[in-house]
Structure 1
Amino acid sequence: MNMNNKELLARRDKALPRGAATALPVFVKKATGSEIWDVEGNHYVDFASGIAVNNTGNLHPKVVEAIEAQLKSYAHIGFPVLSCEPYVRLCERLIELAPISDAKATLFTTGAEATENAVKVARYYTGRQGVVTFTGSFHGRTQLALAMTGKVQPLRTGVTPSQAGVYQVPFPIEHHGTSEQDSLKALDHLFRATISPDQVAAIVIEPVQGEGGFYQASPAFMQALRKICDDHGICFVVDEVQSGFGRTGKFFATEHAGVQPDLIAIGKAMGGGLPLSGLIGRSEVIDAPPPGFLGGTFAGNPLACAAANAVLDVIESEGLLARANAIGQKIQSFLTDLKGAAGVLPLGDIRGLGAMVAFEIVSEAGTHTPDADATKRVAAKAKELGLLLLPCGYYGNTIRVSAPLTITDEILETGLSRLAGALKA
């Protein structure tokens, strides 16, 4: 049956609620590696990676092979009922990779489950209720995760999250007027005026913000938060759902800071395209809750665990941490050369950690004044040119570049050429 994007979009709009939005009106027919073809045969270079999921590309042969092999044995058992070896093996490997001494791990299905369970564990361990997060953060769309998320549009538009005890302080973004000292001072004011630190269970931070715009928490800032948590008996929780699994040139972005968190929420890239998330924690903390406190019907699905074990193999065997750094350097160099060139939209801050690269579009060269409308137009133009880009950011003016870590130099060059076309004034 011949299909086109317009006809399928009409069917989609009739069957789905408008709240279930999709950024681009494109229906996929085939995807492999770093390339996607839609139902009309149009070709796209994938600089979105399914929102940083396809770090090992789409349908990596080793991941496909692992899923097929597992499928011949069993697809689902329900881990709360029966155990399976791929789940245990994956947890063993995760705790070896995590920057936590004496750790244990457990698995879930979605990133929101991981972040909410991190808070649930921290609250049980500390006997406290308070949670501190940061402006611009994204921790999920379920109710507690949404309350933790530090951005209103569009996630919390018209909805006041009814979660007591969740507070936000400014994330430090120097070029937008908030220094690290400003953030720490705001946290101090919160502790003095609103909630005592001995009532706070967790401080939760993304080492590199995802939806917030790929803004980085510096090593000094992460170390300062670790000390504050130590001083007050607060669990230090890092959300690595988007920044983990090699995206930043280290397995976890937290490793750049040289700190040990109490809990790490993980997801996205770990399942190689299958839904899988998890929580890694210091044994004393994550072991505190009683049996039955953690889990879920599909948590740690055997197929997803098999895929995740293959993902770990690919990251190691193909040297994807070094590859992430090489990709990131190439993209940042390209953007730096493009900035200020004749006939190019004005670009603001360019930043990146490994292959987690972003740049801002501004209203006037030499300023940091956000231009969110131009940013939307760039993403739309990129789509017309055959490049998938995702806008994001606290100010709506950031374009993130999350190419698969397995992307070839040739396809990367093609994507960058199309990006240059999308940025023409």
Structure 2
Amino acid sequence: MASALRTASRAGLSLPRSSARPCSRTAPIALRRHYASAAPATGERSYFPHEPTGPVIKTSIPGPESVKAIERLSKVFDTRSLNMMTNYQRSYGNYIADLDGNVLLDVYAQIASIPVGYNNPSLLLAATSPEMASALINRPALGNFPQHDWADILETGILKVAPNGLNQVFTGQSGSDANELAYKAAFMWKRQQERGGAHVEFTDAEISSSMTNQKPGSPELSILSFKSAFHGRLFGSLSTTRSKPIHKLDIPAFDWPQAPFPACSYPLDQYAAENAAEEQRCLDETERLIKEWHNPPAAIVIEPIQSEGGDNHASPNFFRGLRELTKKHNVLFIVDEVQTGVGATGKFWAHEHWGLTTPPDIVTFSKKAQTAGYYYGNNDLRPNRPYRQFNTWMGDPARAILFRAIIQEVERLNLVENTAITGRYLYNGLERLAQQYPGEIKNLRGKGQGTFIAWDSPRRDEVLKKAKGVGVNIGGSGEAAVRLRPMLIFRKHHADILLDNLEKIFKS
């Protein structure tokens, strides 16, 4: 333990005392040598003491070493969606590195999925602990053989940050999986209600017809989702995904309804009356579908901010209206926080911005949590028999341990508040750029939503490509949106680097 702490100290890494466990020496030392001069010019303290002072561009991207690595990989793995070939040993804090010595400020965080920085020392300690080693080499089939401390891992981690009113969790493998499991829970809940309660036995007709995919065993029910939504690429989640045809082509889909998501004008507060009318139109159509769709919805599922579909926002009033509709018509309200959760919007959960009087029935999560699953509070959402909501792994204790370390780091550094503060600063800077370059930044959105910010660009793909050339990794969404998804450790001096480089792109 002492040698591990000495190693971390030499690397300039700040470790929480409560987390002192053996850690790997190699990565911190290498990073210390590579990024030895990283005090921001603004004087603002970085969460990573030896983080780069800014991007480093040595070659085109991809450079020659990356090209060779990509060619090799493409022989055994499909690389057509590749963004960049990454050297994770050289990536650090907010900066992502490649094989050619290029170091980019990462404001995309993979796909909004890196929470507290590359090679975070606190996560390194958790990853090299005996507890993690046991979880990895003895990975339990949790439904049958849960490890003895599974309740402790959940209570000190995943459940510690559970949304208000939701005190139970079903863990899963990915965001798509989390949504699929939530849909299954909704269907079983609905049929249990219709049957008369958990104590009522299945009929012979239900049992036999389920084996031939016929009703009543396979009921004619649905999940209602929204235009431009993205909820995953598995069969059930894909049937609720409405963002891009390429996700859905050639895949059989369920006959489930699609409601309109409000096409709001931005900034939201400047078009309050127009947006309120649009949101009411969408609420009215949602209610009509709930009442009239031939396969009645057991639940509606919605993202607090539609991400893959173009970073589409709506006001808290719209979401409060949806909640009231679900209560009125006895359908579940599933909030998909796979991308919005874990602090990105300046709240730990984005739906906290809405001011709901009653919590959602289910909240799904993944990405920045580095694990997945869904929260719930109603005991009736537990299936009435074992093995109905089940698979071999039912989650992964190793990933739950990592999420616990992420939560500790978020709390230790007060990163949700940091994201809210940095987000306001970044949004104000983008507003100034929008005034200077109105043809480059259109429909700026995300005010008051932390760093969950986006705008429309008439030359979006060109902007994303040129961003790499000036040392910034940015993502897009929908047809024209540039979306920002920086990590929770993103600070004002990082925002300044981003804004300066965006201006270079706009001038070019």
Please give the range of the TM-score, normalised by the shorter of the 2 chains.
0.7 to 0.9
Distance 1:47 1:85 in 2: 39
Q: Does 1:215 align with 2:312?
A: yes
Residue 160 of structure 1: CA displacement? 4.8
The verdict on how the C-alpha distance between 1:206 and 1:88 changes in structure 2, with shifts beyond 3 A counting, is same
Out of 253, 260, 266, the position equivalent to 1:162 is: 253
Q: Which residue pairs with 1:184 in the alignment?
A: 283
Q: Which residue pairs with 1:202 in the alignment?
A: 299
The one-character-per-residue Cα deviations of 1:324-357 (angstroms, maximum 9, x if unpaired) are 1112112211110001315x74321111111211
Out of 32, 41, 65, the position equivalent to 1:4 is: 65
Deviates more, 1:287-296 or 1:307-316: 287-296
The verdict on how the C-alpha distance between 1:285 and 1:267 changes in structure 2, with shifts beyond 3 A counting, is farther
The one-character-per-residue Cα deviations of 1:273-302 (angstroms, maximum 9, x if unpaired) are xxx201101232432342223343344322
Runs of 4+ in 1 over 4 A off after TM superposition: none
Q: Does 1:136 align with 2:228?
A: yes
The one-character-per-residue Cα deviations of 1:76-119 (angstroms, maximum 9, x if unpaired) are 22213322366423533544533342531121110000001110
- Considering only CA atoms, is the larger Rg found in Structure 1 or Structure 2? 2
Unmatched 5+ stretches in structure 1: 362-370
The one-character-per-residue Cα deviations of 1:241-263 (angstroms, maximum 9, x if unpaired) are 00001111111111111221000
Distance 2:399 2:64 in 1: 31
Q: Does 1:340 align with 2:435?
A: yes
Give the secondary-structure state (helix, strand or coil) at the position aligned to 1:124.
helix
Q: Does 1:359 align with 2:458?
A: no
Unmatched 5+ stretches in structure 2: 1-62, 192-218, 267-273
Out of 390, 395, 399, the position equivalent to 2:475 is: 390
The verdict on how the C-alpha distance between 1:59 and 1:191 changes in structure 2, with shifts beyond 3 A counting, is same
Report sequence identity in percent: 25
Distance 1:201 1:280 in 2: 17
Q: Does 1:82 align with 2:165?
A: no
Distance 1:85 1:213 in 2: 44
The verdict on how the C-alpha distance between 1:308 and 1:277 changes in structure 2, with shifts beyond 3 A counting, is same
Give the secondary-structure state (helix, strand or coil) at the position aligned to 1:280.
strand
Q: Does 1:61 align with 2:121?
A: yes
Is the contact made by 1:246 and 1:324 (CA closer than 8 Å) also made in structure 2?
yes
Distance 2:351 2:150 in 1: 24
Q: Which residue pairs with 2:369 in the alignment?
A: 270
Is the contact made by 1:55 and 1:405 (CA closer than 8 Å) also made in structure 2?
yes
Residue 233 of structure 1: CA displacement? 0.9
Distance 1:68 1:295 in 2: 29
RMSD over aligned Cα atoms: 2.3
Letter in 2 for 1:388: N
Give the secondary-structure state (helix, strand or coil) at the position aligned to 1:265.
strand
Letter in 1 for 2:323: R
Give the secondary-structure state (helix, strand or coil) at the position aligned to 1:180.
helix
The verdict on how the C-alpha distance between 1:72 and 1:190 changes in structure 2, with shifts beyond 3 A counting, is closer
Q: Which structure: greater strand fraction?
A: 1
The verdict on how the C-alpha distance between 1:193 and 1:296 changes in structure 2, with shifts beyond 3 A counting, is closer
When normalised by structure 1's length, the TM-score is 0.87
Give the secondary-structure state (helix, strand or coil) at the position aligned to 1:141.
coil
The total of aligned residue pairs comes to 400
Q: Does 1:404 align with 2:487?
A: yes
Give the secondary-structure state (helix, strand or coil) at the position aligned to 2:504.
helix
Q: Does 1:120 align with 2:184?
A: yes
Letter in 2 for 1:214: D
Q: Which residue pairs with 2:14 in the alignment?
A: none
Distance 2:429 2:360 in 1: 34
